[in-house]
Amino acid sequence: MAEIEEKTELKEDIIQKAVQSFTPKAEIQHTAYLTLGFIGFAAVLLLWCILTYGGIVDTIFLPTPTATIQAGISLFTELNFIHDIGITIVRVMVGFILAAVIAVPLGILLGAYKPIEGLLEPLISFGRYLPASAFIPLLILWIGVNETQKVTVIFIGSFPQLILMVAAATKSVQNDLIDVSYTLGTSRAAVLWRVMLPASMPSIINSLRMILGWAWTYIIVAELVGASSGIGYMIIQSQRMLNTSNIFVGILAIGVIGLIFDYLFKWLSKRLFPWN
């Protein structure tokens, strides 16, 4: 009888914790978080298996997990796919870092000072809606088909978005913090560096994390035209041969790399800003 009551209490406790976890912004245990993430990936894999091994979707359009694994092994062992991955990562990071070095300071100034906002925001907002892929024919004409052209595509795609997101993060600093700093005798110049910048840095790091994800979409477009290496080049070559297994390997490789960078940014944010 006691054992039945203990099991009942355990079930009620689990149900109560599950209900409480759906409270807005409520924290859950790290183990539960990882478990849910694993379940999400497992559900997608299960659906993939059902669609392919069950014959619901032809393997020409959707390869089986087994065929994808075999294609990955072949790419890494026979076709030096690791070199393509390295080339693509370098292109993305160079373009992204160049954009960040310029956009972050400008975004902070744009978010802090209204005259700079009035001067730059309309222009940056206009540029934000110009698709980076539309510049590829012009960049080939101006620069040629080389590494600079591909890095420039990343820069054009990342810079306007990043500068506006950094500006929004800077603007979001509470006015109460600024008012208190003035009351304590902080000068107008020091408020930017001692109050606004520290308060907005966690959001700025998060903005960098988001824009890096967008940069990966631009590099694939850049590598589809005039490239002789890279993940995008491998994907377009596989498409010409109807090798969907290789295409899936390229897509999954980008996803894995992006996930690694995403968690690196999250880890960096926790280390630098433990109070956030």
Q: What is the pLDDT of residues 241-270, one digit of tens each?
A: 888 999 999 999 999 998 999 889 888 888
Residue 22 lies in a domain: no
pLDDT tens for each residue of 120-153: 889 998 988 888 888 888 888 888 878 888 899 9
- Rounded CA-CA distance 84/79 in Å is 9
Encoded amino acid at 175, one letter: N
Instruction: Assess whether 46 and 153 both reside in one domain.
Output: no
Instruction: Assess whether 95 and 38 both reside in one domain.
Output: no
Number of folded domains that form the chain: 2
Q: What is the CATH number of the domain that holds 224?
A: 1.10.3720.10
Residue 206 lies in a domain: yes
Q: Between the CA of residue 94 and those of 99, 206, 254, what are the distances in Å? A: 9, 19, 17
Instruction: Assess whether 101 and 169 both reside in one domain.
Output: yes
- Rounded CA-CA distance 194/184 in Å is 12
Residue 14 lies in a domain: no
Instruction: Assess whether 38 and 172 both reside in one domain.
Output: no
Position of tokens 């809606």?
129
pLDDT tens for each residue of 152-186: 999 999 999 999 999 999 888 877 777 777 777 77
Instruction: Assess whether 160 and 33 both reside in one domain.
Output: no
Instruction: Assess whether 34 and 109 both reside in one domain.
Output: no
Residue 10 lies in a domain: no
Residue 7 lies in a domain: no
Instruction: Assess whether 34 and 85 both reside in one domain.
Output: no
Position of tokens 């996930």?
259
Residue 105 has pLDDT above 90, yes or no: yes
- At residue 101 the predicted structure's pLDDT band, cuts being 50, 70 and 90, is very high
Q: Name the nearest CA neighbour of 99 among 88, 87, 91.
A: 91
Q: Other C-beta atoms within 10 Å of 77: how many? A: 10
Q: What is the mean pLDDT of the chain?
A: 85
Residue finishing a domain among 70, 96, 130: 70
- Could you tell me the sign of the dihedral formed by the alpha carbons of 9, 12, 17, 20, in that order? negative
- Would you state the pLDDT for residue 20? 63
Residue 97 has pLDDT above 70, yes or no: yes
Element (H, E) at 85: helix 81-112
- Would you state the pLDDT for residue 15? 64
Instruction: Look up the domain containing 46 and give its range.
Output: 28-55+63-70
Residue 20 lies in a domain: no
Q: Name the nearest CA neighbour of 171 among 237, 103, 125, 114.
A: 114
Instruction: Assess whether 260 and 146 both reside in one domain.
Output: yes
Instruction: Assess whether 112 and 181 both reside in one domain.
Output: yes
Instruction: Assess whether 133 and 47 both reside in one domain.
Output: no
Instruction: Assess whether 118 and 191 both reside in one domain.
Output: yes
Residue finishing a domain among 70, 96, 127: 70
- Rounded CA-CA distance 197/188 in Å is 13
Percent of the chain with pLDDT over 90: 37
Residue 191 lies in a domain: yes
Q: Name the nearest CA neighbour of 156 among 241, 73, 221, 62.
A: 221
Q: Between the CA of residue 103 and those of 66, 158, 163, what are the distances in Å? A: 44, 9, 5
Asked which of 53-57, 119-123, 175-179, 209-213 is least confident by mean pLDDT, the reply is 175-179
Encoded amino acid at 101, one letter: V
Instruction: Assess whether 48 and 168 both reside in one domain.
Output: no
Label each residue of 52-77 as H, E or C: HHCCCCCCCCCCCHHHHHHHHHHHHH
- Would you state the pLDDT for residue 245? 93
- Would you state the pLDDT for residue 12? 61
